[in-house]
Structures are given as C-alpha cells and as structure tokens.
Structure 1
C-alpha cells in the first residue's frame, strides 16, 4: 500500500498555487489517519532555509480524521502562497497523515 505524490506549481503575478497529487500505487485500498483537519502541507526552501510554510500561523479543527485512497484513483490538494518572494526555490509538499508518508518536490521560479 504505497502512496506516491507529485507536486506542481502554477505562478501568476501575485501568488503561487501548489497542487499535491497523491495516488495509491498499490493494488488494495489504503486509509490514512490524520490528527486534525489539515491534510497537506507545503514548505518552500531557498537552499536549506525555509522561507514559507503553508501551515505557519494557521489553526486547524482538532478532530481525528481519515482519508481512503483507492488504487489508481489520484487525489489532489491545493494550497496557495500569496505575495511570494521573488527567486528560484524548492517546494516540498507532504501528506500530513500520522501513519503514512507521501512527499513530493518541485522547483519553482517566481
């Protein structure tokens, strides 16, 4: 039961929208457990320095949850970085599940 991810970044004049796609590449359904209402996080790095994180300063509903991932049925999650800093960076998106890992990276130029 493997979850694999890909991360895309779409830029415009005043924001970057990151789309994390998570797909179960196994042959059986799998369920991911979450400790709150947040399902994904995205962080942006300039080299090794983190310059932005989606969840910084945010609060999420404190409720246990789960997401079921069927084989071959990709699920997408979007987050937006408003007023981004100009430059070329590496973005890392991850599923915030407590019992499964899924991470993807992409370079983004602003």
Structure 2
C-alpha cells in the first residue's frame, strides 16, 4: 500500500487545490462555498508519495472550544485505503492543538 502524508494546509495554493478536489466530488449535491471553506479553522491534506493532494478535510470556521468537522473528501481512486479515517484522526489532533475540546 502506498504511504500517505497527512499535513495541515499552510499555503493558499494548497487550499485552492483542496477546494478543487471538493468541487470535483461525484456527489456534489451541495456546491462548495469557497469563501466559507477558506475561512476554516484548519484544513488537513492527504498527499500521496508524489506530493499530490488525494484527500482533504477541515475544521469549519468558528470560535471557542467547540468545532465542527466537515469537508471530508478523498479522490475516487484512493478510496477504501483508510485515508478518510486518517484525515479524521489528524483533524482531532489539530483541533486539540487549537484548543478545541
């Protein structure tokens, strides 16, 4: 199985690529509001060995100790490999580091 890296997005370019991944999802019943997404408290990325973004997930905008997880998307060709679970676990770690309980 390919190794994946799970990192918090730090550049605007990564956020744009993550938004494009969300926009390309096959169940796009609710189009992404880009300005709301870009205001997320944190966005976590899954990258393959080549450094390509193959999944993303966010902690939605808000304040205080309560946060909402959202925007979990994995590229179709990378599904069923545990990426969604790993993104969720990484988001929990990031949330704790941000003081979200």
Q: TM-score, normalised by structure 1?
A: 0.32
Structure of higher RCO (CA pairs closer than 8 Å, 6+ residues apart): 1
Q: TM-score, normalised by structure 2?
A: 0.34
The structure that is helix-richer by fraction is 2
The structure that is strand-richer by fraction is 1
Based on CA coordinates, which of the two structures has the bigger radius of gyration?
1
